[in-house]
Amino acid sequence: MEATAQRDEEARAILRANDRGGYSVPNRRVYPFQWNWDSAFVALGFATFDRDRAWREIETLFAAQWRDGFVPHIVFWQDDPGYFPGPDRWQAGEQVRTSGITQPPVAASIVRTLWNDDPSSRDRLATLFPKLLAWHRWFWRHRDFEDRGVVVTMHPWETGRDNSPEWDVPGAAIDTAGVEPYVRRDTSHLDAAMRPTQLEYDRYVALVDFGRSTGWDHARIAAHSPFRVADIGMSMIFLRANRDLLALAEALGESAAAAEIAGHVARAERGIGWLWDDDAQSWCSRDTITGRPSGFVTSASFLSFWAGLVDPARDAAMLAHFERIGTRVRYLMPSLDPDDPGFQMLRYWRGPVWAVVNYMIGHGLSEAGHVEAGARVLADTTALIARSGFYEAFDPTDGAPTGGDTFSWTAAIWLVRTEQQR
């Protein structure tokens, strides 16, 4: 208990140190701005000891929302000239300079948790609700343009799983010839062996340049981007977020909005099966340009339980993958199947365990009735942090840390987990 109490205090200290006055940075050295889905999870951590600060984290993120409902993946509240690509490269934003792409829409799910734990915050919920609904409408309009009920991403960074091998084949179509020289910040602070390769980064920058060339016209980007992949992670997260937004609409008596959201939930339940890969017997991302599934079993594949999908045959197949992977690694859930030849224990999203993904997988499994499996994922997350500290990610084979240290969302997940165990 003494060790847990010490970690609790360390986690709170990290959140306070990474607080920039209403918003948090993920890490002081590598990521000096506000990141979208990072902030959502960080709010959960603040809620364990400062509810007002938890709500302000989300409110500050939505203060950067564009008029059309779009919420960017980075908000540049202050300058940091050493970061690349910075605001001058993006040339995006309205009230404040931002990036021009989004990130996994977990905010509605987090807001529902804040509301459930603190029903006295009805006024804050009522203020946030139309902003959340506007963002979801943006997704329905610009990221589900084929009406399949899935989320089509226009950039690997939008997925939050930046260099997953799922993006390798679709990314080969990206022309990097026009990318001008640049200096990366990540490899100056972290071991390059843990980070995306230079080719991968060139592709990311080429997509930024393409989006900027359109004036961040998301309709044009959706029609002409060389990278258009239906991401299994974003699709499952968005389905769950729509269910949670529906619950919030009902709590507020927003009947028209509730009917609208329910229609989109039903559409996703009908159409998301397009992302099931019979050959892999798994949920997989799919290139919408070629129609080909990725074939990769990743940690995001297990978010079907978080999404609330129920299909006995597919659930059984995913649980079989779960059991197999659980015998290959010491700690669940690796970001890539350890039986895949491209599995790398320490390279960004090609093997390491991420606490926030485990949070969703673990709770999703438990909610679906797979309590023992869910408990293992959550227990492994706690064990990793207890062993190695508050790092960005962890080696699933031995628990060694990888990525940045003093990481906000890892600290947040620790606090949520220990709060639930009390």
DSSP H helices in 84-217? 87-90, 107-117, 122-142, 168-171, 186-189, 198-213
Which residue bears the tokens 């995306």? Answer: 196
Let me know if 392 is a catalytic residue. Answer: yes
The DSSP code for 204 is H
With contact defined as beta carbons under 8 Å apart, do 355 and 363 qualify?
no
Report how many helices (DSSP H) and strands (DSSP E) the chain contains, helices first. Answer: 16, 11
Residue 31: DSSP 8-state: B
The closest of 385, 394, 376 to 415, measured between CA atoms, is 385
Pairing state of beta strands 401-402 and 229-230? unpaired
Angle of helix 312-328 versus helix 371-388 axis, rounded to 10: 30
> Catalytic one among 59, 162, 250, 340?
162
- 318-325, Cβ contacts within 8 angstroms, sequence gap of 24 or more: 318/282, 318/283, 319/370, 319/373, 320/281, 321/281, 321/282, 321/297, 322/373, 325/297
Alpha carbon 159 to chain centroid, angstroms: 6
Candidate list 287, 392, 395, 405, residue with the active-site label: 392
Quickly count: other Cβ atoms within 10 Å of residue 81's Cβ. 7
27 three-class SS: strand
Return d(Cα 197, Cα 84) in angstroms, integer: 15
Catalytic residues: 162, 392
